């Protein structure tokens, strides 16, 4: 479905364009609003932090950005694609191709070794294991985890597991890196290393949206957006 048919024109440099996003959840017989008329825009190549305390709505906003949930109302365009018009299956395709996820708890499969975890998104797309391994090696070397590929996640430090998670997010060459509290499970030194890596990836042209409750972590981004009680400030 084209933007013209929808009566909307977007900048070619815009990757996230949200207009009047509302989302609520049922609590008993009452619907409790979580996001309220959210307008949010991210340009390609930006590094943006969404900063807010627990219960502010930042996780719900992240889930909508990541095509893991849908808004009750409003419009959401991701790289000119009208997410709000899509079926669940269409959103799954977008999620797999356009977004690289980096989670606080890494989401690595414990029975797979690190290489198997990293290549998984490419194998899901239909690439052979050999092709996927070849494509992944430049990212693996850049992140400095080439010597840990045959190990299981339980054998890695928190910082190494997060590097593996970042590698997995990068190998599919997504339009957007979406990071949820990426330093939340790390010690201070490992957290600083991961944030330095994010700044490096941003310098290489990657678009990053990072969700955090920590102002010191948010300061690594080029722009900070505050969310309070479901509203962006």
Long-range contacts, 188-194 (Cβ 8 Å, 24+)? 189/159, 190/157, 190/158, 190/159, 190/162, 191/217, 193/159, 194/159, 194/162, 194/163, 194/166
Which CATH architecture group holds 14-229? 3-Layer(aba) Sandwich (3.40)
Domain boundaries, the chain: 14-229
Report pLDDT digits (tens) over 5-49.
Answer: 333 344 569 999 999 999 999 888 999 999 999 999 999 999 999
Report pLDDT digits (tens) over 119-156.
Answer: 999 998 899 999 999 999 999 999 999 999 999 999 99
What does the pLDDT read at residue 9? 40
């Amino acid at each position: 479905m084209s933007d013209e048919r929808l009566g909307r024109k977007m900048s070619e440099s815009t990757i996230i364009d949200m207009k009047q996003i509302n989302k609520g959840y049922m609590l008993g017989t009452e619907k409790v609003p979580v996001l309220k008329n959210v307008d949010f825009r991210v340009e390609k190549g930006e590094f943006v932090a969404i900063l807010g305390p627990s219960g502010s709505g930042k996780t719900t906003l992240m889930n909508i950005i990541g095509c893991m949930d849908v808004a009750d109302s409003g419009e959401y365009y991701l790289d000119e694609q009208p997410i709000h018009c899509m079926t669940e299956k269409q959103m799954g395709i977008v999620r797999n191709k356009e977004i690289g996820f980096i989670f606080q708890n890494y989401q690595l499969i414990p029975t797979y070794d690190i290489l198997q975890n990293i290549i998984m998104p490419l194998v899901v797309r239909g690439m052979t294991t050999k092709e996927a391994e070849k494509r992944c090696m430049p990212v693996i070397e850049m992140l400095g985890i080439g010597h840990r590929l045959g190990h299981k996640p339980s054998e890695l430090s928190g910082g190494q597991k997060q590097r593996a998670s970042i590698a997995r997010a990068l190998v599919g060459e997504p339009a957007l890196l979406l990071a949820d509290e990426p330093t939340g499970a790390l010690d201070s030194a490992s957290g600083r290393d991961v944030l330095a890596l994010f700044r490096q990836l941003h310098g290489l042209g990657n678009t990053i949206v990072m969700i955090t409750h920590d102002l010191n972590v948010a300061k690594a981004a080029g722009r900070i957006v505050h969310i309070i009680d479901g509203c962006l400030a």
